[in-house]
Structure 1
Amino acid sequence: MHTSLTPQVDVRRASERFTTEIGWLDSKHSFSFGHHYDDANTHHGLLLVNNDDVVRPGFGFDTHPHRDMEIVTWVLQGSLVHQDSEGHNGIIYPGLAQRMSAGSGILHSEKNDSWRLAGAVHDEPVHFVQMWVVPDEPGITPGYEQLEIDAELLGGGLVPVASGMDKHDGAAAIRIKNRYAALHAARLRPGRHVELPEAPFVHLFVPRGAVELEGAGRLETGDAVRFTATGGQKVTATEPAEILVWEMHASLAA
């Protein structure tokens, strides 16, 4: 733990997030994003984006560019079709982790149109969380990875989902190009608990359900907590819940 940091537990409620609503999209932004800007809320640790998105069927994000960003997508409900300029394509669904390294530059699209590919008709929205962290260095070769980790989540513990840290080598996790960051997930039944990692910077997000955070009380769907120079707290589900936890051992400059 960095002794120069002041320990802090900063609870951010769902209602405090920036909101984008454009008919087919309901998006909630934990940090400054697009035209939503607050110079006091641009990142925590290495995490710049934590977007909680719901997209109507038949709609989505048309082809658009990214560069020098590690983008992790986690689907909670429905399915999301990914296509990019490097020739990668796939359907992302609950329990499948996906990482796209934008690197020197990539174009991609994300749409709720898997029903067309599957030859079936449905009208289910897709609910997903997309998270961005910076890579260790700019200009890397763009890349893509997806991995099924549903079986690991059945145990109810905190499971590494995406990591660039050496300690997760060999774990069932997708690899990101940042050696100081790792994303964990847990699906918790009522009464089950996990313990948060200890790191200079930790970000806890509750995309669905409700939990009790040791020392801070109840957290509900959409709530988040930014930890600085502290960790190890218990998170206990008070109803069926899913949590996403970033463990970060470095930070961007303010």
Structure 2
Amino acid sequence: MAPTIPTVTLNNGVQIPQLGFGVFQVSDEQTTAAVSAALEAGYRSIDTAAIYGNETGVGTAIASSGVARDELFITTKLWNADQGYDATLKAFDASLAKLGLDYADLYLIHWPTPARDLYRESWKAIEKLATDGRIRAAGVSNFQPAHLKRLLDDTDLVPVVNQIELHPGLQQNELRAVHADLGIATEAWSPLAQGAVLGDEAITTIAATYGKSTAQVVLRWHLQLGNIVIPKSVTPARIRENLDVFDFALTDDEMTAIAALDRGLRTGPHPDELN
């Protein structure tokens, strides 16, 4: 039986499953099988992006899943080359067509690309999509405190989430504090640091204590911090394992031991530098 996945209530009242399924770096061909396995295992939140080139594969899996649309939470993202007001609206139409959906649950600006300075225009287009009911929630990804502040100087629509690289090696405490102040939920991409933290002694010790995998321990850490998390896998057994994290809890001491692993470890680009 699939576990009941807790939800996080976003600042506009919409609920998102706290644990979802990501498809970064999964080919379109592989995506349909992976998403189908995820939906069968009990995931209901799927996170894709235009640049991943697999929205069609996600859509195919959704269409053949038999899961009702209102039970699903589908996120996609605006790519950097499509920023700007008109370009954003056009890019969203293209994403929706590939997904085969009438609306998206969450639409994110993928990167701020600060040197191009088009994210505020893109946000105005996303505000229109929200007003028109074509998205249920609007958010951003990889925004630093300065980008968030600049965005909010210009709008009444506060992003519901900021999806950022976050794992025990890069804990983003300053940014998470800004999110808490603004009512923005923190969503973690690369939640396992692409495996780079799974050999850390604190994590292997905790895993042995509970008879869990190191990945399950890290996902549990995210959940207890309050992060929304979207691990990816193409292996059905691993897809199921990543969902099996609701039958144990880390102690305060164990959370503290993982907190000590923060070391500024990035697996992806720095948001101030990617343009």
TM-score normalized with structure 1 length? 0.33
Q: Which structure: greater strand fraction?
A: 1
Larger proportion of helix: 2
